[in-house]
Amino acid sequence: GNWKTYPTQIWYEDFVQGEYHCPLLKKVVDFCDEPEFSKIAMFLRGREYLDEKDKVIDIAGRFMPKTYCIENGAWAMNLEDGESPPADDDPGALDAPWFVKESDKNLGGAAIAIVSKPSDIMRHIDKDQNYVIQQHISDPLLTEDGRKQH
């Protein structure tokens, strides 16, 4: 074929996987494995359930730590089942930090805010975004070499 490699630049880095690259000047090219830079997108059906943090709950919620969602600036929960947003006076709420994660971003931690208490969460959101909220796991499951397994 007539395929050619387009020059790349670092898009972002993470301390586990290393560098991620994109086309030079973030140009859209004919085909790229990152849809943001590709004229043709290749998606696997159901992929959004792995990419979007709020949808992961649908398939793996029972294996996850307690997870709260914010949709368009409001807590999204089933109030009929007695759910309520986390509060500073909840048992353990101040024992570990809270992660405020944009649900549709996988940028190696770039779309995550960390707050010390639940009452700080709403100050870190954009009303037009969706978020998942989780408290830090104080005793995480680790691999044999000491890395987090989740």
Q: What backbone torsions phi and psi does residue 139 show, to the nearest 5 degrees?
A: -130, 75
Taking 90 as the threshold, does the pLDDT of residue 145 lie above it? no
Residue-level pLDDT at 91:
92
**Tell me, what DSSP letter sits at residue 65?**
P
Instruction: With a cut of 90, say whether residue 118 has pLDDT above it.
Output: yes
Q: Between 147 and 81, where is the model more confident?
A: 147
Rounded CA gap, 7 and 10, in Å? 11
Most confident residue range from 59-63, 68-72, 74-78, 103-107:
68-72
Question: Averaged over 129-143, what is the pLDDT?
Answer: 86
- Output DSSP code: residue 11: E
- pLDDT for 80 beyond 70: no
